[in-house]
Amino acid sequence: MKLPNIFKPVLILIFILLVSGPGYGFDLKKKVLKEKLPNGITVLLLERHLSPTVSLYIRYRVGAVDEEKGESGAAHLLEHMMFKGTTSIGSKDYEAEKKLLDEIEKTGQRLDREKQKGRNGDSRIVEQLSAKLKALQNEHKSYFIPNEIDRLYTENGGLDMNASTGQDFTAYHVSLPANKIELWARIESDRLLHPVFREFYTERDVVMEERRQRVETDPDGKLYEEFMNAAYGTHPYGRPIVGWTEDLMNLSPHALRKIMQRYRAPQNIVIAVVGDIKPETTLQLIEKYFGKIPAGEQTNNMIAAEPQQTEERRISVKFDANPSMILGFHKPNTPSKDDYVFDVLETVLTRGRTSRLYNKLVTSMQIAQNVSAVNGLPAARFPNLFAIFAQPRHPHTNAELEEKIQQEIDLLKKQPIPDDELIKAKNNIKMTYIQSLDSNSELASILSYYEALLGNYQYFSDYLDHIDQVTVDDILKAANTYLNKNNRTTAFLNKIKE
């Protein structure tokens, strides 16, 4: 990078201030308490007393990647069903309700099977079964109180109650007043042991709407789905988390129960509690409620590895929207040393206005509306991708962007990046890191994430040390090893009517 002379002293100053070793006044290793319950569940506790609140995360080492073929979307639909209550939450008379639920499931299954026959199906049977299902669903309404989990949390000051399903994990979280941790333990242990799948077929329709909203009517969602599917030919990372339409419309409660079984293996469960807590008391409470979950091993599905890519893959999506593109390269996942290198590369290329690709494509050449690099898609339990997303500015094209991005990649492979540029990238990563320490919920999310991913949250506390060790040569080497055409997937979205 060319810098005016007057600017140099400022750089040196910043160099000294930011890279003068650890010790920002926080040391997670000393502050986080990690305990394993006798049954194997991992609990992470971190005291922070700024406000009388606590963020609670329960993360299961189970995600979309664990679904069986033909059942894509099961992990995500299960996450939706987990808000439908338990045998003791939302039920008026569970014994009676259970009989009706079994009848609903049987009818729904028959209806799905008949519909699957397509043209060979009997439309009268479909009609009859639909009517029967509707009647049973209406009858069921008098047997339960809907949305009890949500009511209990919100009525007790719960905030940001939500859940998320990823390829690797499923997480349930809420923030509560610090004196209400027992409510969380009561609800979460109960829905793990005794969930009731109420309103299953209606919720499946809701998820179809979610798919329409996120994929079918959203060019970014559509392009991302097709891109991932092209980048992974064998490995389930190529399937959408929300599920393919055909799989989703036929998902059965049985498919969800198979995922549920994996939740219950204690080695798949990580709990993180961050906030205004007394760790000993909190731990006792968690043990009281979660100790009941029986210890036991869960054998995981064999997940076929993605074979080494040998030639470029290109796909094109037609959509009624302006053009956009994604480039992706296969690379090793966390905690490989190369993964840290790609965190630095992501920053060098597109973080900040002076980053290489932003400065070149948006500011100087003025051919792009936006460009951003992301390391580690779609998840990290398995080898993943380094991806670059870009949108050309009219009348420029995806092809032009591809060419210019390629030139920058070629440059990374040939010329070592200047030291000051590396320092700038590291400074940015550090700032982002420190900012993430400012929020209870983010800390609970990050701690539980690395504990679930690597069996050790300390990856996060040691993170900056590893970033500090990334050298100019590491970047050169990683660029030459991974950013090659035969390792690349290119996806273009182009306007349908042009």
Partner 1 sequence: MYNASSRIFRVLLITLLTCVFIVPVKTGRAAASADFSPPAPDQIQYEPLHFELPQAQRVVLDNGIVLYILENHELPLVHVKALVKTGTMHDPSGKEGTAELTAYVMRTGGTSALKSSNVDNELDFMAAAVTITMSMESAQVGFSVLNSHLERGLDLLAQMLIHPAFEQDKFELARHLKNEEIRRIKDDPQRLAFQEFNRLIYQNDPRGRFPSYTSLANIHRQDLIDFHRRFFLPNNTMFAVSGDVTRDDAVKIFTRYFGRWNQGTLPADIPPPSQRPRAAVYLINKEIPQSTIISGQFTVSKNNPDFYAFTVMDFIAGSGGFPSRILSTVRNNEGLAYSAGSFYRAKPDYGFFGSYAFTKTSSTLKALSLLDSVLEDIKSDSVTARELDWAKKAINDGFIFSFSTSEQIVWQQMNIAYEKLSPDFLINYRNQIDRVTLKDLNNAADKYLDKKKNVVLILGDSKKLDHPLPTGGFTLITPEE
The order of strands in the sheet holding 324-331 is 313-319, 488-495, 324-331, 384-392, 368-377
- The radius of gyration computed from the CA coordinates of the chain, to the nearest angstrom, equals 25
Q: Among 103, 112, 216, 474, which residue interacts with partner 1 (rule: CB under 8 A)?
A: 216
Near partner 1 in 243-262, by CB under 8 A = none
Counting contacts by CB under 8 A, is residue 241 touching partner 1? no
Q: Among 65, 77, 89, 259, which residue interacts with partner 1 (rule: CB under 8 A)?
A: 89
Near partner 1 in 163-182, by CB under 8 A = 175-180, 182
Name the burial class of residue 299, with classes exposed (0-12), middle (13-18) and buried (19+) by CB atoms within 10 angstroms of its CB: exposed
Near partner 1 in 282-321, by CB under 8 A = 288-289, 320-321
Q: Among 9, 17, 120, 310, which residue interacts with partner 1 (rule: CB under 8 A)?
A: 17
Per-residue binding string, partner 1, 360-399, x by CB under 8 A, is: --xx--x--x---------------------x-xx-----
Counting contacts by CB under 8 A, is residue 466 touching partner 1? no
Q: Among 31, 151, 264, 466, which residue interacts with partner 1 (rule: CB under 8 A)?
A: 151
Minimum CB separation from partner 1 for residue 93, in Å?
A: 15
- State the DSSP string of 400-415: HHHHHHHHHHHHHHHS
Q: Which stretch binds partner 1 (CB under 8 A): 18-26, 166-174, 304-312, 471-479?
A: 18-26
Counting contacts by CB under 8 A, is residue 70 touching partner 1? no
Q: Is the dihedral of CA 360, 362, 365, 367 positive or negative?
A: positive
Minimum CB separation from partner 1 for residue 314, in Å?
A: 22
Counting contacts by CB under 8 A, is residue 217 touching partner 1? yes
Alpha helices (H) in 28-178, listed in sequence order: 28-31, 74-81, 94-116, 123-140, 148-155
Task: Decide if 165 contacts 63 (C-beta within 8 A).
Answer: yes
Near partner 1 in 435-454, by CB under 8 A = 435, 437-440
Interatomic CA distance for residues 359 and 2, integer angstroms: 13
Residue 173, φ and ψ in degrees, nearest 5: -145, 155
Minimum CB separation from partner 1 for residue 431, in Å?
A: 4
Contacts of 339 (CB under 8 A, 6+ apart): 331, 332, 333, 375, 376
The residue count for binding partner 1 (CB under 8 A) is 90
Near partner 1 in 332-361, by CB under 8 A = 352-355
Interatomic CA distance for residues 315 and 231, integer angstroms: 10
